Amino acid sequence: MLHRTEAIILKTMPFSEADLIVSALTLEYGLVKTFAKSSRKTKSRFGSSLEPLTYVRTSFWGKEDAALPRLTQADIIRPFQKIRDRMACFFRVMEIVELTLGFLIEREVQRDVFHLLLSILMKIEDEGPANDRDVLNTLLYKIRFLDAVGYGPRLEGCARCGGSGYNFYIAQGSILCGACAKGMDSPVRLSPGMIKSYGTLRSWEVSKSARIRLSRTLLAELSDMLDAHIRYTIAKPLKTKAFQPS
């Protein structure tokens, strides 16, 4: 059976001398791994369409339950080459790609996540080389993505009683007030400004987020909180984090 859909290439792995295993987030089928035969050859019909981050119109062939359907076509819609050309930006984006691969289940349709990733890639490329904007846009993706897959941290007051508080307990993934947190390990203290910023990034339309301006202090605090939450949730740090500039 032939399947056609839009896709964003997330990752490729060499297979034998000339082939690739391609992981892509598709609009119609969710996260899909396909087999691209002879795609590493110089005269491959795929050309540069299988570079990570490339937005393509793709076709693959295989039965519904095939473990590794064969990729037959990948036509570039938007290459996002400017992101790959900026090394620091590229590694930031590959961190959210790793996050996506780590949480999504294969063949589970995630149209909201597909549109979110595509819109964030467009924003990063269109807004140009500005480090603070890259950081904010990748944070925006992390926050929206974690909400979409059901793992978003809860910062709107105490998760148990609804009372006010600023102490974030990583093992709980939420803020707890003093009464509800008795006997628990030391929390991470969050600033009111960071909690407000988190709510703004969580609720504003992605298309309007260019209006958001956060200080480097708030960006760093948000990054640290999300990194700790993600690291605890998946029980390991993201590998791409090590390649990013400090």
What's residue 246's pLDDT?
54
Burial class from Cβ neighbours inside 10 Å (0-12, 13-18, 19+) for residue 65 reads exposed
pLDDT, tens digit, 9 for 90 and up, residues 36-84: 998 888 678 898 999 999 999 999 998 767 789 999 999 999 999 999 9
Q: For the chain, how far is it from start to end, CA to CA, in angstroms? A: 47
User: Of the given ranges (113-117, 141-145, 179-183, 237-241), which has the lowest mean pLDDT?
Assistant: 237-241
User: Of the given ranges (37-46, 93-102, 221-230), which has the lowest mean pLDDT?
Assistant: 37-46
Indicate whether 215 pLDDT > 70. Answer: yes
Burial class from Cβ neighbours inside 10 Å (0-12, 13-18, 19+) for residue 95 reads buried
What's residue 210's pLDDT?
87
**Ordered domains of the chain (ranges, CATH):** 2-79 (2.40.50.140), 82-155+190-243 (1.20.1440)
Mean pLDDT over all residues of the chain?
93
Instruction: Please give the C-alpha separations between residue 32 and each of 25, 77, 101, in angstroms, as whole numbers.
Output: 6, 18, 10
Return the higher-pLDDT residue of 237 and 15.
15
Percent of the chain with pLDDT over 90: 80
d(CA 78, CA 53): 9
Q: What would the mean pLDDT of 200-217 be, rounded to a whole number?
A: 92
Q: Which DSSP symbol is given to 212?
A: -
What are 174's strand-pairing partners? 154, 169
Q: Quote the tokens at residue 236.
A: 């390991």
The label of the residue with tokens 């301006």 reads 213
Burial class from Cβ neighbours inside 10 Å (0-12, 13-18, 19+) for residue 233 reads middle
Interhelix angle 216-234/87-103, rounded to 10 degrees, is: 40
Q: What would the mean pLDDT of 195-204 be, rounded to a whole number?
A: 95
Predicted TM-score (pTM) of the model is 0.93
